């Protein structure tokens, strides 16, 4: 693993970014807050802690609240590490890892005494985090300045070598889970049981994975963000859609696959969608706007619908009449990194100039022009969703769809195939397939 040798270079790049934006905005530096727990309403239990992504961009401390980073791009970054005296909870051990030498580590034993370690009175420091009431009490007058956030979000899309290695590792972990889930499906497990076997295979809990896994059998696969997890196995086992990821040092993998229980027409449709997805990845390159690839996906899907007999007419007609959008309602994918739907996907420049998706494709999460170092998901889908198909049946578009074939495929729910891809200057790296997940 190349993490240690890449890490200091990663910190150097982050420091360069901080130095530039602080000089531009007249700031002394950034105080990046890891965050603090949120208490459940009318209870004495906290929600699972989720660290500020701007914090974990610097250090892989994911479960320790009340920590701070003080960075100005010139001096050695300071990590204020929270380690209380506490007999109720497990106290985080003092860090001893490959990244420690990159920081001046100072220990904080009481969260409300952090002011003694902060440089607020020494200049114009900006607070980066979600707890604005804490920032106010501590004397920060500049919180999450828009110019700083836009700059950092724009450049965060360009991953460092350290970040790319973390994301490769996240894919390796997730692929092991997908293999376990696939076997569990074919061995008769319920949705809940498949989820448990997935988590066991990746050795991560539900609060450690980057998002709530989608484990859907049969028609449940037509619910795009299905997370209900039925405990009973269906009487007839038809299909399985899994959209599940894993985390490594705070970086996410986000992978989807669909399986048919038997080799039938739905199985053939999965194979066709797999080829469609691979063709789209081949067209992904620096300089191409992601929007163009999304529209290309609809063109290819229109051709596929005609080839398999789900639709009639011409490719142009299916696109103009919204037929492909009824079968494929979500975006082709999104940027990936410290967050599953990573920031900066709509940015045209470092000032945060917003580029909206096409009016007919409002759910597309990325309109960015691709560049080397970007990491995106490519996840075309084909679903049988009643609420989207019924309107076609009630107007003049009825004749464009083979409704008998739709009825025969409706119990299978739908198909989604998703890989995580690094864009390089001279070709793409499909982390998911190179980690061993083929079907």
Mean pLDDT value across the chain: 95
CA distance readout (Å), 281 to 80, 88, 297, 365, 418: 42, 50, 10, 17, 11
**Residue 243 known to bind ligand:** yes
pLDDT at 209: 98
- Max CA-CA distance within the chain? 72
Confidence of residue 2 (pLDDT cuts 50, 70, 90): confident
Whether residue 53 is predicted with pLDDT greater than 70 in this model: the reply is yes
Label each residue of the chain as H, E or C. Answer: CCHHHHHHHHHHHHHHHHHHHHHHHCCCEEEEECCCCCECCCCCCECCCCCCHHHHCCCCCCCCCCCEEEECCCCCCEEEEECCCCCCCCCCCCCCCCCHHHCEEEEECCHHHHHHHCCHHHCCEEEECCCHHHHHHCCCCEECCHHHHHHHHHHHCCCCHHHHHHHHHHHHHHHHHHHHHHHHHHCCCCHHHHHHHHHHHHCCCCCCCCCCCEEEEHHHHHCCCCCCCCCCCCCCCCEEEEEEEEEECCEEEEEEEEEECCCCHHHHHHHHHHHHHHHHHHCCCCCCEHHHHHHHHHHHHHHHHHHHCCECCCHHHHHHCCHHHHHCCCCCCCECCCCCCCCCCCECCCCCCECCCCCCCCCCCCCCECCCCCEEEECCEEECCHHHHHHHHCCCCHHHECHHHHHHHHHHCEEECEEEEEEECCEEEEHHHHCCCCC
Pairing of strands 239-248, 251-260: antiparallel
Work out whether the CA dihedral 98, 99, 101, 104 comes out positive or negative: negative
How big is the chain by its Cα radius of gyration, in Å?
Answer: 24
Whether residue 439 is predicted with pLDDT greater than 90 in this model: the reply is no
Q: Taking residues 367-395, what's their average pLDDT?
A: 97
pLDDT at 83: 87
Whether residue 208 is predicted with pLDDT greater than 70 in this model: the reply is yes
Could you tell me which of 420, 424, 332 has the C-alpha nearest to residue 371?
424
pLDDT tens-place string over residues 224-256: 999 999 999 999 999 999 999 999 999 999 999
Percent share of the chain, pLDDT over 90: 92
Whether residue 181 is predicted with pLDDT greater than 80 in this model: the reply is yes
pLDDT at 89: 65
pLDDT at 121: 63
Token pair listed for 405: 């074939």
pLDDT at 233: 97
Q: How far apart are CA 70 and CA 259, in angstroms?
A: 48
**Residue 386 known to bind ligand:** no
**Residue 424 known to bind ligand:** no
Q: Taking residues 41-51, what's their average pLDDT?
A: 93
Whether residue 122 is predicted with pLDDT greater than 70 in this model: the reply is no
CA atoms within 13 A on the CB side of 394: 6
pLDDT tens-place string over residues 278-311: 999 999 999 999 999 999 999 999 999 999 999 9
Q: How far apart are CA 216 and CA 194, in angstroms?
A: 10
pLDDT at 426: 92
pLDDT at 74: 94
Percent share of the chain, pLDDT over 70: 98
Helix 290-308 vs helix 265-282: angle between axes, to the nearest 10 degrees?
A: 150
CA atoms within 13 A on the CB side of 94: 6
Are residues 240 and 216 in contact, defined by beta-carbon separation less than 8 angstroms? yes
Global pTM? 0.95
φ, ψ of residue 241 to 5 degrees: the values are: -115, 125
Whether residue 206 is predicted with pLDDT greater than 70 in this model: the reply is yes
**Residue 354 known to bind ligand:** no
Q: Taking residues 405-420, what's their average pLDDT?
A: 98
Q: How far apart are CA 99 and CA 60, in angstroms?
A: 9
Confidence of residue 88 (pLDDT cuts 50, 70, 90): low
**Residue 254 known to bind ligand:** yes
Q: Taking residues 45-59, what's their average pLDDT?
A: 96
Q: Which residue has the tokens 């083979």?
A: 402
Q: Taking residues 104-124, what's their average pLDDT?
A: 88
Are residues 401 and 311 in contact, defined by beta-carbon separation less than 8 angstroms? yes
Q: Which residues make Cβ contacts (< 8 Å) with residue 114, sequence separation at least 6?
A: 66, 68, 80, 108, 138
Q: Taking residues 116-144, what's their average pLDDT?
A: 91
pLDDT at 102: 95
């Amino acid at each position: 693993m190349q993490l240690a040798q890449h890490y200091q270079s990663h910190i150097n790049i982050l420091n360069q970014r901080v130095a530039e934006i602080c000089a531009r905005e007249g700031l002394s530096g950034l105080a990046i807050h890891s965050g603090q727990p949120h208490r459940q309403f009318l209870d004495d239990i906290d929600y699972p802690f989720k660290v500020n992504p701007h914090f974990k961009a610097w250090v892989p401390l994911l479960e320790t609240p009340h920590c701070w980073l003080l960075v100005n791009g010139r001096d050695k970054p300071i990590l204020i590490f929270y380690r209380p005296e506490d007999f109720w909870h497990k106290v985080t051990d003092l860090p001893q890892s490959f990244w420690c030498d990159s920081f001046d580590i100072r220990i904080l034993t009481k969260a409300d005494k952090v002011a003694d370690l902060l440089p607020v009175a020494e200049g114009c420091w900006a607070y980066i985090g979600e707890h604005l009431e804490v920032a106010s009490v501590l004397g920060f007058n500049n919180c999450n300045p828009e110019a700083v956030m836009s700059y950092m979000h724009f450049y965060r899309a360009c991953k460092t070598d350290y970040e790319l290695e973390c994301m490769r590792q996240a894919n390796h972990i997730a692929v092991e889970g997908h293999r376990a889930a696939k076997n569990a499906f074919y061995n008769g497990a319920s949705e809940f049981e498949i989820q448990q076997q997935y988590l066991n295979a990746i050795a991560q809990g539900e609060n450690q994975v980057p998002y709530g896994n989608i484990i859907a059998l049969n028609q449940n696969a037509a619910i795009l963000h299905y997370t209900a997890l039925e405990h009973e196995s269906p009487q007839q086992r038809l299909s399985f859609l899994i959209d599940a990821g894993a985390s490594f040092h705070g970086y996410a993998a986000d992978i989807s696959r669909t399986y048919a229980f038997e080799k039938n027409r739905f199985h053939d449709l999965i194979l066709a969608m797999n080829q469609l997805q691979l063709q789209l990845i081949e067209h992904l390159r620096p300089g191409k706007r992601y929007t163009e690839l999304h529209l290309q996906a609809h063109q290819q899907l229109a051709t596929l619908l005609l080839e398999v007999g789900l639709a009639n007419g011409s490719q142009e007609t299916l696109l103009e009449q919204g037929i492909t959008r009824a079968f494929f309602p979500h975006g082709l994918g999104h940027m990936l990194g410290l967050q599953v739907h990573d920031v900066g996907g709509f940015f045209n420049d470092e000032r945060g100039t917003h580029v909206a998706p096409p009016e007919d494709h409002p759910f597309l999460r990325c309109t960015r022009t691709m560049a080397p170092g970007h990491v995106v998901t490519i996840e075309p889908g084909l679903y049988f969703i009643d609420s989207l198909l019924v309107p076609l049946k009630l107007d003049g578009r009825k004749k464009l769809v083979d409704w008998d074939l739709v009825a025969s495929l409706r119990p299978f729910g739908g198909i989604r195939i998703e890989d995580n891809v690094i864009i390089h200057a001279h070709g793409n790296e499909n982390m998911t397939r190179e980690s061993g997940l083929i079907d």
